[in-house]
Structure 1
Amino acid sequence: MEATTAIRPINNPSRKVLIHAGCWSLFIGYELFYIHYTVGSFGAPMRYFFYYPVNICLFYLVVHVLKQNFSAKRPAYLAGLIQLPALLLFFLFLKFAFDQYTSLPLTGPPGTQALAVRQILILDLQRILYFAGAAGLYWAGGTISGLQKQAAETRIRELTHLADQAVLESQLARAGNAYLQQQINPHLFFNTLNFIYSEVMDCSAGAAESVMLLSELARYGLEEKDELGRTPLDLEITQVGHLVRINRLRFSNSTLLDFVLEGEFGSHRIIPLILLTFTENIFKHGDLKTAQASLKIKISSSGRLQYFSKNAKKPWANQDRHQGIGIKNTRTRLDYSYPDKYSLDVTETETAYELHFTIDL
C-alpha cells in the first residue's frame, strides 16, 4: 500500500506563536542587516517601529481575508475581491500619511513635490504588494497542506472501508461454510440418536426416554427463530421441563427437585436458551447425590417473567458460579437484546447457590 505524506498543521497555539515570532525575527534581522550592508546606516528607529508592525498586521489581515472568503465551504469570491483592494488601499494611505508626517512637508517647485510624492507612493505600494504576496503564498501553502490532509484521510477511510468489506466477505464465507456443515451434521446427529433410541428402547425405557428428550433439546436449539431471534416462551419452558426430566432419569428420580410453574406463558417470546442455561447450571454445579440436598426451580409470569432457582453446592466445588462461561454469555446476550429491562443476580453462600432473574418481555 502506497504511503501518503501530508504536511501536518501545528495544533499547539503557543508553539505556533513562537514559530511565527521566530520567523518574523529572522526576517527583520535579515532586512536590517541588508540595509546596513548596502546603505551603511539604519535611519530613524521610529520608522522601523512603525513599518514592521504595520506590515505584519497587513500580512495577517490579508491571510484572514483569503481564508474567510476563499477557503470557506461556501466561498464568497465577490466579497474577497472587494475586501482585498480596499485593505491594500487603506494600508497604502496609512503608510503615505506616516511618510508625510515624518519626511514631509515637501518643499521646492510643484514638479519636484509631485515627483517626491510619486516616489514615496511607489515605494509604499511595492512594500504593500510584497507583504500581500507573502501572505498569499502562506495562505496557499496552508490550503494545499489542508487539501493533502483531507486527501490522505479520505484515502485512509477508503482503505479502512475496503478492509472492513474484505473482513465481512470472509466472515460471510465462513458463515456459509458453517451453514452447510449445520445442514449435514444435524442429520447425522438425529439419525444417530434415533438409532440409539431404537436399540435401547427394549433394554431400558428410561435410557430411551432420555435419548428422545435429548433429541428434542437439540432440535430446539437448531430451530429457526423469528426476525428478532426470539422463540415462544412456552416452548423454552417445555425444554426446561425436558432437561429436568433427563436429570431425574439420570439419578433414578432420587434427586429432590421442586419444579413449579405459575402463570401464563404462551403469549410471550424470549431469546432462546436463557432459561435452559440457568437450569443446566443447577445440574452442573449443584449437589445431586447427597440425600439431604434439594433443588428448586420456580418460573412465574405476572406481568414480568421471573425465574428463581436454588441448589446445594457440591462439597468439592471451587469455581465461582458468577464467573461461569454460561452466565457470562447469557449476560452478554441479555444486554444486547434487553438493555435495562432485566435483572440477574447470583448469590453464593458456603452451602448453596441462588439465582434470581426477572425480565420485561
Structure 2
Amino acid sequence: MKKKQRELLKEMAAHIFAWALYFIYENAAVFLIYPKRVFLVSSCFYFLLNAIFFYGNYQLILIVGVDKFKYLKRIIIVVCLCIIYLNTNYALMILIRDISLPTSMFTASIREFTILRIFRFLYIISISYTYWLIKDKLKMERNLLSAEKSRYLEIQKTAEMEKEKIKSELNYLRLQINPHFLFNTLSLIYTEVIKYSEKASESIMLLSNILRNILANPDSDGKVWLKDEIEHITNLIKIHQLRFDKKMSIQLSIPEDELSADKKIIPFILITLVENAFKHGDLLDKQHATVIDLSIKDEQLFFTLHNKKKSNNLLRPGFGIGMKNIEQRLGLAYSNKHSLKIIDNTNFYSVILRIPLNHDELYNN
C-alpha cells in the first residue's frame, strides 16, 4: 500500500512539474514578443481550466475503453467537451473582466473568441489523447514484460521440477538392486528364523514390508497411495517398538476412514518427518509421549507430529538439509498451496503440515 502511495505521489509531482514548465514556457514566449501582455494571475485561471479539461477528457477516454462504438463515442465526447469548454471559457473571461483583473485573453468579438478557443481546445485535447496513448502503450509494455517474466519463471520452475524428477528417478534406480532377489532372500530367512524366534521373524517381515514400500514405483505424477504411506509409518513404528521391547511412548492417531481413503501424495514426506522424530526425539519418556496425528478434511491432509527432544540432542548434519529438501519438494509438487509450520523449542519439536489432495498434476507439461 505504501509503495502505491509513493508511486501516486511521484506521478502527481511529475504532473505538477510538467504543468509548471508549460506555464513558464507559454508566458515566457509571450513576454519575449509582447512584454506588456503577460498577466500571471489571470493566466493561472485559464491554465487551471485547461488542466480540468485535459484530465476530464483523459478520464472519459478510460471510461469508453475498447467499447464497440468507441470512436463514435469519442467524437461525441469531444464535441460536447468543446461546447462546455467554450461556455466556461467565456464565463471565465467575463468574470475576470468584471473583477477588473488584467488579462490579455479578453476579446469583444464572438467570432474571434470562438476561433481562438476552439484552436486552444483542440490543442489541449490533442495533448490529452497523446498522454493517454503514451500511458496505454507503457501499460501494454508492462503487461507484456510481466507476462514474459511469469513465463520465464514458469519455465524455470518446470525445469527445476524436471530436474527433481530426474534426480528422484536416478535415486530410485540406485535402490533397485534386484529387489526380487532381496525379497526372496528375506522370505527364506523369515522361514528359517520363525522356527526359533517369533520376535526376530516379525522384525524380518516388517523390514520386508518397509523395503517394499521404499522400492515402490510412484505413478506418472510422482505420487503414491496415501494408505501405503500410512502403512509405511505403522511398520516403522512397529519395528522400532520391537527394537526397544515395546517401551516407546507413541500415540498414533489415524482414523479408519483415512486408512481406506483413495488419495495420493508425493512419497517420503510423512515418513521422513517420522524418522526425524526417531532420530532426534526422546521416545522413551512416558510423561511426554510422541504424538502423531493424521486426518483428512475438505480434501486436505492434516499431519501433526509432536515429540520431546533428547536431553543431549545435537542435530546431525543432514537434519537441516532433509527439512529443506522436504520444503522444496512440497513447493514444487503443490505450487505452494500447502503449509508447513515447524515449532522448534528448547525441549520439544513440532511439525504441522497441510497438503491439498485435489491437486491433480505434480508436473506441468
Task: Report the TM-score range of the alignment, normalised by the length of the smaller protein.
Answer: 0.5 to 0.7
Match of 2:36 in 1: 41
Contact 1:66 1:80 in 2 (8 A): yes
* 1:182 Cα deviation from its structure 2 partner: 3.2
TM-score (norm 2): 0.58
Q: Which amino acid aligns with 2:7?
A: N
CA deviations 1:274-317 (Å, max 9, x no partner) are 69947983999678xxxxx9999999xxx9xxxxxx99x99xx6
* SS in structure 2 of the partner of residue 184 of structure 1: coil
Say which one has the larger Rg: 1
How far apart are the structure 2 equivalents of 1:50 and 1:261? 81
Residue 30 (structure 1) aligned with residue 25 (structure 2) = yes
* 1:30 Cα deviation from its structure 2 partner: 1.4
Change (3 A) 1:75 1:274: farther
Change (3 A) 1:88 1:297: closer
* 1:217 Cα deviation from its structure 2 partner: 4.0
- The 5-angstrom pairing of residues 180-219 of structure 1 reads 180-184=173-177, 186-187=179-180, 189-190=182-183, 197=189, 209=201, 214-219=207-212
* 1:126 Cα deviation from its structure 2 partner: 1.1
* 1:143 Cα deviation from its structure 2 partner: 1.0
* 1:320 Cα deviation from its structure 2 partner: 6.8
Match of 1:5 in 2: none
Contact 1:232 1:268 in 2 (8 A): no
Contact 2:232 2:271 in 1 (8 A): no
Change (3 A) 1:33 1:44: closer
Match of 1:129 in 2: 122
Match of 2:85 among 88, 91, 105: 91
Q: Note the residue ranges of structure 2 that are not aligned, 5 or more in a row.
A: 99-107, 296-306, 351-365
Change (3 A) 1:263 1:84: closer
Residue 153 (structure 1) aligned with residue 146 (structure 2) = yes
- The 5-angstrom pairing of residues 110-259 of structure 1 reads 116-184=109-177, 186-187=179-180, 189-190=182-183, 197=189, 209=201, 214-223=207-216, 228-231=225-228, 237=234, 240-245=237-242, 247=243, 257=247
Change (3 A) 1:135 1:281: closer
Residue 55 (structure 1) aligned with residue 50 (structure 2) = yes
Match of 1:80 in 2: 74
Contact 2:55 2:128 in 1 (8 A): yes
Q: Which amino acid aligns with 2:17?
A: G
Change (3 A) 1:29 1:221: closer
Contact 1:69 1:79 in 2 (8 A): yes
- The 5-angstrom pairing of residues 326-337 of structure 1 reads none
Change (3 A) 1:324 1:96: closer
Change (3 A) 1:74 1:189: farther
Match of 1:110 in 2: none
How many matched pairs? 301
Match of 2:360 in 1: none
Identity among equivalent pairs (%): 20
Contact 1:257 1:295 in 2 (8 A): no
- The 5-angstrom pairing of residues 344-359 of structure 1 reads none
Change (3 A) 1:167 1:40: same
TM-score (norm 1): 0.58
